[in-house]
Amino acid sequence: MELGERLLQGDKKAAARMISLIENDDPKAVAILASLYQHTGKARVIGITGPPGAGKSTLVDKVVKQLRSRGATVGVIAVDPTSPFTGGSILGDRIRMSDLNLDPGVFIRSMGTRGHLGGLSKATLGAVKILDLLGMDYVLIETVGVGQSEVDIVKVADSVLMVMVPGLGDDIQAIKAGIMEIGDVFVINKADRDGADRTKMEIEMMLDFNHQEWRPPVTKAVAVKNEGIEEAVDNLEKHWEYLESTEKLAETRIRNSELEIMDLAQTALVKQLMRNSDNRNWLRGLAEKVAQREQDPYTTSRLVLQEMMKQSIKEEAHENTES
């Protein structure tokens, strides 16, 4: 049976393989995803992020269990950084989710960023669609909130759960600009520590300052003790209701699709440009001329764009006659 078909029938092995192929930019897998795209969009995508050491994996573990107890199936994509020097990585998020391994309604996948500089890769978006096709009602994406990934997560998720810890103090000031707009639901994890109430208050104050239509709720949790998880999930449900009851959901998804199209187009352009030495040498030649002021970069970039599109159209026609 074909991978796509097996995926639609809920075959985890097919899903696992599809994610690998998409990570490797396999054109056949891309074609399968393209043909099945109309079946996606059923899963609710929730981004979970926060500073290192906030206990995200443990929280994800408990959120998954809570969702399972409500009858939903859940996919998890845990993203960890890849070493820029060796290309290797150690992905350790499963450590805290080991008893979910055997739950038939759960699928967990660890992904390295593979050179996407802390951001979410194109492959992550692919994996979301694959888990959606697998029939997961929820897809949770866990990323470490440093740098690009916490901004990127908004491009993919319907809702973002922001995990904080007590005693961030000045750190809150430093990161608030980034996080306050991103989080739809806030959880102060490890709330049995000193300063939980103060941290909660500080976040509430900053959120009040923002005057958004949806005022993100802030709750406390102690994930290791499974405390405060129900409330957090309830808040995610409320955010979903809000999205559905307004134009927000459609709006969010249109915005996310727009970002995805732009992202894919950009990547495709760069990939086309780098795909063979002819192109690379051509670019180098153009760059030399621009550097010597023989040509201007504005006209040159338009020329590059036109040439790449020509190449791309020609190759696609070629592929079609071949297959």
Interface with other proteins (CB under 8 A): 12-13, 15-17, 19-20, 23-25, 53, 58, 82-83, 86-92, 94-96, 98-99, 101-102, 107-110, 112, 114, 224-226
Distance (Å, rounded) from C-alpha 249 to C-alpha 194?
Answer: 37
Q: How near is the Cβ of 20 to other proteins at its closest, in Å?
A: 5
CB-nearer residue toward other proteins: 16 or 262? 16
Distances (CA, A) of 278 to 54, 239, 292: 48, 51, 21
Token representation of residue 74: 């859940």
- CA 264 centroid distance within chain: 14
Q: How far apart are the first and last CA of the chain?
A: 19
Beta bridge partners of 138: 44, 74
Output 92 or 285, the one with its CB closest to other proteins: 92
Considering the complex, state which of residue 91 and residue 290 has its C-beta at the smaller distance from other proteins: 91
- Six-digit token string for 102: 């055997």
**Shortest distance, position 173 Cβ to other proteins, whole Å:** 22
Question: To which residue do tokens 């845990």 refer?
Answer: 78
Q: How far is the CB of 120 from other proteins (least distance, A)?
A: 16
Alpha helices in 183-247 (DSSP H): 196-210, 229-245
60 vs 182, beta carbon nearer other proteins:
60
Q: Are 74 and 239 in contact (CB under 8 A)?
A: no
Nearer to other proteins, 226 or 272 (CB): 226
Name residue 11's amino acid: D
Please state the closest distance from residue 48 (CB atom) to other proteins, in A: 16
In whole angstroms, the minimum distance from the beta carbon of 228 to other proteins comes to: 13
Closer residue to other proteins in complex, CB, 194/322: 194
CB of 286 to other proteins, least distance (A): 25
Side-chain half-sphere CA neighbours of 90 within 13 A:
2
Rg (CA), the chain: 22
Q: How far is the CB of 313 from other proteins (least distance, A)?
A: 24
Distances (CA, A) of 272 to 24, 111, 143, 195: 16, 25, 29, 52
Nearer to other proteins, 3 or 180 (CB): 3
